[in-house]
Amino acid sequence: MLGFVLRRLIYMVPTIFLVSIVTFIIIQLPPGDYLDALAAEMGEGGSDNTAIMDSLREQYGLGQPIWVQYYKWITGIVFRGDFGVSFEKNLLVNDLIWDRLGWTFGISIMTLIFIWATALPIGIYSAVKKYSVGDYVATFFGFLGLAIPNFLLALVMMYVAFKYFGQSVGGLVSPEYLDAPWTWDKYVDLFKHIWMPIVVVGTSAAAALIRIMRANLLDELYRPYVVTARAKGMTEFQLLLKYPVRVALNPFISTIGWILPTLVSGEIIVAVVMNLPTTGPMLLRALLVQDMYLAGSLILIVSILTVIGTLISDLLLALIDPRIRYQ
């Protein structure tokens, strides 16, 4: 087991290295650079800004060949933990992202809990009570959750919150708490807002898992081992949780590897619409203006998350499913 983990950790190094190169190249692929984007935005002022552009190009080292820029970036990260500078914000990437990554993780983990807490019981229920009224209701909402695009759901929920509850929308706290210290009232206000992104991001994932859980469990429920256990006189509830559910959990666990990065980067549009202080809007903005060190660092971190997530799901799978452990 230890050897397996160790081997996996070693494999991660070249993977991440390759990802970092590809990331950097992809960000550089669109024509132009940050300064072209800046020039476009400064066009509003109405003058020709070639003067300041020339000196800024020098300042940001944008005139250098791409591999020199990459070398500076990657050695900074490896040896000093320095992710470079965000051109647009003129701040170290380090100063910008950790706070946002914190919020991102917080929301992600709560969303994960929400997904599991809703998908597991509903999935089990609709498998056990197949074709009951409850199953149809759950299925109906499940399909709705799958079909509605997240950003649309976000817009609708924001509108409802605004229209009928008079709530201030956008962001995780009301404007009056924006730069206030963390008090009890601010926490209360936070929880008045934070359920919205959790529900919006969680709904479609939960809907998918309900369907998967239902299908998997249906496969297991009529297996001979279940019949055997029942024949031996186990109570129905105990039996359900101990054997078929455990086997049916497999897809839940093997998708952790994907859920982590999806929650971090996949919900960009929701985060933009709901104005969340997470990494999504920052990444989108960085890509739009070709703020390459910021975008590169965020993508690199998301890639590392995917690799770590995959490792975690492999380990959990081995733990929960004996068939995998002995392979």
Partner 1 sequence: MTYQIRKLPSLRGTLTGVGLALTVCAPAWAYQEAPALADMVAAGSLPPVEERLPSNPLVMDVIEQTGEYGGTLRRAILGGGDQHNMVRTIGSENLVRWDPNWTEVRPNIAESWEVSEDASAFTFKLREGTKWSDGAPFTADDIMFWYEDIFSNPTLTPNKDATFVGANGPVEITKIDDYTVKFDFGSPNGLFIQKMAYGFGYHAAAYPKHYLSQFMEKYNPDIQALIDAEPTAADATQLFNLKAGPMDTPLFWQNPDRPTLHAWHLTNAYGSTDRVVAERNPYYFKVDADGNQLPYMDRITYDQVEDVETILLKTFNGEIDYMLRHIGRPSNKAALTDNMERGQYGFFDVGDLPANIVILMLNLNNQDPVKREVVNNKDFRVGLSHAMNRQEIIDLLYFGAGSPAQTAPREGSELYKEEYAKQFTEYDVDLANEYLDKVMPEKDENGMRIGPDGEPFQLIFLVADVFGLQYPDAMELIAGYAKDVGVDIQVRATDRSRLIELHTSNQQDAYLWNCSGGQADAYTTPICYVPQISNSVSWAREWAAWGVDPSTGEEPPQEVKDIFDAYDQVTTAASPEELKARMEEVLELSMEQFFTIGLVQNDPVFGVARNNVRNVPNPLPIAGQLWFPAPYTAQLYFEGGDNLP
The sign one gets for the Cα dihedral 125, 127, 133, 139 is positive
Q: How far is the CB of 292 from partner 1 (least distance, A)?
A: 14
Q: How far is the CB of 303 from partner 1 (least distance, A)?
A: 23
Binding mask 63-92 for partner 1 (x = CB under 8 A): -------------------x--x--xxxxx
Q: Is 277 in the site for partner 1 (CB under 8 A)?
A: yes
Tokens of 197: 């992104």
Binding mask 142-161 for partner 1 (x = CB under 8 A): -------------x--xx--
- Residue whose CB is less far from partner 1, 96 or 122: 96
Q: How far is the CB of 30 from partner 1 (least distance, A)?
A: 8
CA distances from 124 to 130, 142, 213, 252 (A): 10, 14, 7, 13
> Could you tell me which of 122, 125, 74 has the C-alpha nearest to residue 237?
125
What is the Rg, in whole angstroms, of the alpha carbon atoms belonging to the chain?
24
- Residue whose CB is less far from partner 1, 192 or 246: 192
- Strand pairing partners for 13? none
Query: Which part of the chain contacts partner 1 (CB under 8 A), choosing from 56-64, 226-234, 238-246, 306-314?
Result: 56-64
Binding mask 160-179 for partner 1 (x = CB under 8 A): --x---x-xxxx---x--xx
CA distance 220 to 81: 48
CA distances from 277 to 2, 83, 128, 314 (A): 38, 20, 41, 31
> Could you tell me which of 255, 257, 239, 259 has the C-alpha nearest to residue 124?
239
Binding mask 90-129 for partner 1 (x = CB under 8 A): xxx--xx---------------------------------
CA distance 15 to 96: 26
- Residue whose CB is less far from partner 1, 96 or 210: 96
Q: Is 46 in the site for partner 1 (CB under 8 A)?
A: yes
The sign one gets for the Cα dihedral 275, 305, 83, 60 is negative
- Strand pairing partners for 92? 85
Q: Binding residue for partner 1 (CB under 8 A) from 1, 2, 10, 51? A: 51
Tokens of 253: 């666990």
Binding mask 280-319 for partner 1 (x = CB under 8 A): -xx-xx---x------------------------------
- Total residue length of the chain: 327
The torsion angles phi and psi of 322, rounded to 5 degrees, stand at -55, -30
Q: How far is the CB of 197 from partner 1 (least distance, A)?
A: 13
What part of residues 18-37 is at the interface with partner 1 (CB under 8 A)? 30-32, 36-37
Binding site for partner 1 (CB under 8 A): 30-32, 36-52, 54-56, 58-59, 82, 85, 88-92, 95-96, 155, 158-159, 162, 166, 168-171, 175, 178-179, 271-273, 275, 277, 281-282, 284-285, 289
